[in-house]
Amino acid sequence: GAGVSQSPRYKVAKRGQDVALRCDPISGHVSLFWYQQALGQGPEFLTYFQNEAQLDKSGLPSDRFFAERPEGSVSTLKIQRTQQEDSAVYLCASSFRQGGGYTFGSGTRLTVV
């Protein structure tokens, strides 16, 4: 596609429910990032992939958060047993190469009730 596509656009989950957020990067983009943005805050780093390799997951806030990119293209961010503090916009960004220009997706707004 022409841009980075994220789905769903909005997600409401009951506390304790598992959710899966999808990111479709631009075809051929090697680098992929996930960010979490709480209301009124700047985005906070979660994890980084280079192709299928997860090179940095230091930003994942707990072991309830898990990200994968098994074939080096589509990535999924999974949150298990969601809690209210997980409510945020989850942003995905990709780049053709490290240090190149980045394209951001529109984000998934997760609300945990």
Partner 1 sequence: KNEVEQSPQNLTAQEGEFITINCSYSVGISALHWLQQHPGGGIVSLFMLSSGKKKHGRLIATINIQEKHSSLHITASHPRDSAVYICAVKPGNQFYFGTGTSLTVIP
Give contact residues for partner 1 (rule: CB under 8 A). Answer: 33, 35, 37, 40-45, 48, 55-56, 59, 89, 91, 93, 98-99, 101-107, 109
Q: Which residue, 79 or 91, has its beta carbon nearer to partner 1?
A: 91
- 3-class DSSP state of 86: helix
Q: Which residue, 70 or 101, has its beta carbon nearer to partner 1?
A: 101
Give dist(CA 41, CA 60) in Å, integer: 17
Of all helices (H) and strands (E), which one includes residue 113? none
Q: Which residue, 79 or 89, has its beta carbon nearer to partner 1?
A: 89
- The least distance separating partner 1 from the CB of residue 46, rounded to whole angstroms, comes to 9
Q: Which residue, 25 or 43, has its beta carbon nearer to partner 1?
A: 43
- The least distance separating partner 1 from the CB of residue 102, rounded to whole angstroms, comes to 6
Q: Under a CB-based contact definition with an 8 Å cutoff, are residues 8 and 49 in contact?
A: no
- The least distance separating partner 1 from the CB of residue 76, rounded to whole angstroms, comes to 19
Nearest to 67 by CA among 28, 36, 112: 36
Nearest to 86 by CA among 15, 4, 6: 15
